[in-house]
Structure formats: C-alpha cells, structure tokens
Amino acid sequence: MPRCENCGRKWPWRDAFIKSWFLISGKACRYCGVKQYVTPSSRRRMGFLSIIPVAVLLLTESVIEVNLLDHFYIAAAVVVLIVAFLPFSMELTSEEQPLW
C-alpha cells in the first residue's frame, strides 16, 4: 500500500483505490492533510497494468476458442483483479511531477 511521503503513514486500501481513479489531481493525506500525488513511475506502471485486459483478450482469442460472452467474463475478471491490485502498485509524492 502507498505511504504518504510527508508523514510516512500507510494509506488504507480504500483511500488508495479512490486515488487510483484520479491520478492527475492530488488527494490530501487523511493523517497529515498534505496533498499527495501519484509518482510518474507509478502512473506509468498503472497505465501498463490497465492494458493487460486487452492483451488477455487478444491472447485468449488466438490461443483458445471461446465465444464472445466468455471473452467478456474473462476480461471483466481481469479488470476487477487489476483494479483491486492498482493501490498496491501506487507510490506517492508531496510534489506534483510531470509524467515524462
């Protein structure tokens, strides 16, 4: 789980999960109140993780023969897993930094 760069306290999964949907804007730490931003490397990693469902869809299409509904279930399961995992891959910084 991400830690506040200012106070060093670990954010709860729920706060990190909410933050993962608003990568650009900062979110105040619930413990010290200092606004925290997702680090550029963490944003890139989270972006990479978000394309995994597409890769899984393409792989299942080429490797095994499944119908369209099964594709949907597989993609939905992968999306749920990745969304739940995103807070664990997040790192925070007190200063907003450009992505590149």
Q: Which residues bind Zn ion (CB under 5 A)?
A: 4, 6-7, 29, 31-32
Helix (H, G, I), strand (E, B) or coil at 34: coil
For the record, the structure tokens of 35 come out as: 């606004």
Residue nearer to Zn ion on the CB measure, 27 or 71: 27
Q: How far is the CB of 5 from Zn ion (least distance, A)?
A: 8
Residue nearer to Zn ion on the CB measure, 17 or 31: 31
Tell me which DSSP letter residue 11 carries.
P
Kindly report the number of other CB atoms within 10 A of residue 82's CB atom. Answer: 17
Residue found under tokens 């550029």: 40
Tell me which DSSP letter residue 27 carries.
E
Residue nearer to Zn ion on the CB measure, 6 or 60: 6
Q: How far is the CB of 4 from Zn ion (least distance, A)?
A: 3
Q: How far is the CB of 75 from Zn ion (least distance, A)?
A: 36
